[in-house]
Amino acid sequence: MAFKSSGARHDPLRSSGGLHEANRFQRGVVEFLRLPLILTAVFCLVAVGVSLLDRLTPDDAGFRTLVSSVVSEEGAVDFLSAVATSLLTVTSITFSVLLLAVQQTASSLTPVVFDQFLRRTANQVYFGFFIGATTFSFLVLGLAHKQPAPLYSAALTLVLVVASLVVLLMLIHSTIDQMRPESVVRSIHELALQAREVELKMLGRTRMARHSDPDRPEREIHVMDTGFVVTVDTEKLGAIASSAGDDVEVIVEGRLGEYMVFDDLLVRLVNIDPEDSSYDDVIDAFGIDDIRDVNVESGYALDQLENIAWETGTSASQSPQTASTAIRTLSDLLGRWLMAGERDRSERSTRQDELPVVYTDGAVERGLTALSTLLVGSSESRQAQTTAKILHSFARLIPRLQDKDRAAFDDALDSALPAVIQQAEIPPLRDALAELEKVMNEHGHDAERVRLVRNLLTEATSQMMPKPSDEPEAAHPRREGDREEGVRSSANETGTSRRSETRVGDFN
């Protein structure tokens, strides 16, 4: 029997339990600010160097004479002043317009657009270049003197102006291209594959199920903070388990991407006395943050695709094309992960020995749940073509299912099938249901509920109903005796109602 740990608790009145990975500034540096700050610092150093060159170079130097043919000594300072103010204005307006475009796209494709825009290296370089060039212009202007004239500074500023216009053109095209739904979804797809590789290195050395007996004593460690689990150091967990004893096993309850609230169960130490707090530092193997990390957690990408498909596939946006793109990408990721397996991946680990750590992945179950949720959402918007694509995705996954995934697949599909009868029987939906029933029969799944949905849609179409759920009884054919009995009951009810109205009229 397991007991709660009191040693792993923290003062509930304090905001943070010390597990947060980074504060806002640190997160900003990691996500976006590092490259722009480095580029700005480089431009500042160059500005100081060029200003010193203007001061120290003799007036009769050959190269200085050549530069003076491009920028006159009399107008050098005025040129620097005009360029500095112009760059500041252009940079401010450009950034404002681009951020407005990003915000507009994020309103229809969910806030994942912000996350992608900030993390793209090209965007960081573009922004850093403009900020650095503007800083350079003001810095050389501030260090300039009438005598000697800042010829080198003015010449280099002219080069930066030309380069800034080219970079501005590239930035505008890049931003517009990034705001296309296909580009957003494709970026999520690539990030999901990269994050999955990171997960596989961790999962390749952990156990899929516990080896210890369920009735063994356990020490429960509860989280002292609130937020998403963004890091799990399985090496540290394994080291702690090994130091505690050969029969000690660590069971991870707080998986990557899980949102933990204060005092949630984070990890269990099997074969450790429930009152022994010697190993409570195991909590340091976990990192908590307010924002999930798409670089190490593939489940975050699945959730992003689900949100995009939900946002664009329901009546909130009415954009089936974008929803279809997200659904196809989600189906592709699930198919790749099913084909790659979940535990047969130890070759991706740097070390081959198994750690005494139990970590349940659950990526496939999360993806199946996302498809199930989208199937329900498509019924709300009456987008039958979107429903057909989701059913096709279910059918596509069946041949790739492993035995351990069959129960999760059946549960995800069966729970959402009632939403299908909210749709009209358009040809793509009819074909998708037929395909799903056929594939389920070929691979030993119970297709009775799918067959029932097909029959309900066919019956609704034959009775000229837009969908069977408009009048459920009409879509369920009854025996002739039941129909006649229903007609007689209806006639009797009508006659009784009329006689009652007549008596009321006589009384009045």
Cα–Cα distances in Å, from 4 out to 216, 225, 277, 463?
15, 16, 11, 60
What per-residue string of b and e applies to 89-126 under the rule 16 or more CB within 10 Å gives b? ebbeebeeebeebbeebbebbbebbebbbebbeebbbb
289: β partners: 228
Q: Tokens 């059913």: give the residue.
A: 391
In the chain, the amino acid numbered 347 is: E
317: closest CA among 327, 309, 325, 305?
309
Residue 106 tokens read as 């994020």
CA atoms of 24 and 327, how far apart (whole Å)? 33
- How many Å is the Cα radius of gyration of the chain? 33
Q: Would you state the pLDDT for residue 5?
A: 41
CA atoms of 206 and 251, how far apart (whole Å)? 10
Please state the rounded mean pLDDT for residues 69-95: 87
Question: Dihedral sign, CA of 247, 253, 254, 258?
Answer: positive
CB–CB of 259/227 below 8 Å? yes
CB–CB of 310/248 below 8 Å? no
CB–CB of 321/177 below 8 Å? no
Q: Is the peptide bond before 148 cis (omega within 30 degrees of 0)?
A: yes
Q: Would you state the pLDDT for residue 442?
A: 94
Q: Would you state the pLDDT for residue 16?
A: 56
Judge whether residue 496 has pLDDT over 90. no
What does the pLDDT look like over 89-145, one tens digit per residue? 998 998 898 888 888 888 878 788 888 888 889 999 999 999 999 999 999 999 888
Judge whether residue 372 has pLDDT over 50. yes
CB–CB of 249/212 below 8 Å? yes
Judge whether residue 182 has pLDDT over 70. yes
What does the pLDDT look like over 317-352, one tens digit per residue? 556 788 888 999 999 999 888 887 654 544 555 556
CA atoms of 420 and 467, how far apart (whole Å)? 9
What does the pLDDT look like over 198-238, one tens digit per residue? 888 888 888 888 888 989 999 999 988 888 999 999 999 99
- Lay out the sheet containing 265-270: strands in order across: 2-3, 218-222, 265-270, 249-252, 357-358
CA atoms of 459 and 421, how far apart (whole Å)? 11
CB–CB of 368/330 below 8 Å? no
Q: Would you state the pLDDT for residue 8?
A: 40
Mean pLDDT rounded to a whole number for the chain:
82
Around 277, how many Cα atoms within 13 Å sit in the side-chain half-sphere? 7
Q: Tokens 């590092």: give the residue.
A: 34
30: closest CA among 300, 291, 297, 301?
291
Report DSSP letters for 68-84, one per residue.
Answer: HTTS-TTTHHHHHHHHH
Question: Dihedral sign, CA of 108, 111, 114, 116?
Answer: negative
Highest average pLDDT, of 36-45, 55-64, 276-285, comes from 36-45
Neighbouring CB atoms inside 10 A of 472's CB total: 11
Greater confidence (163 vs 29) lies with 163
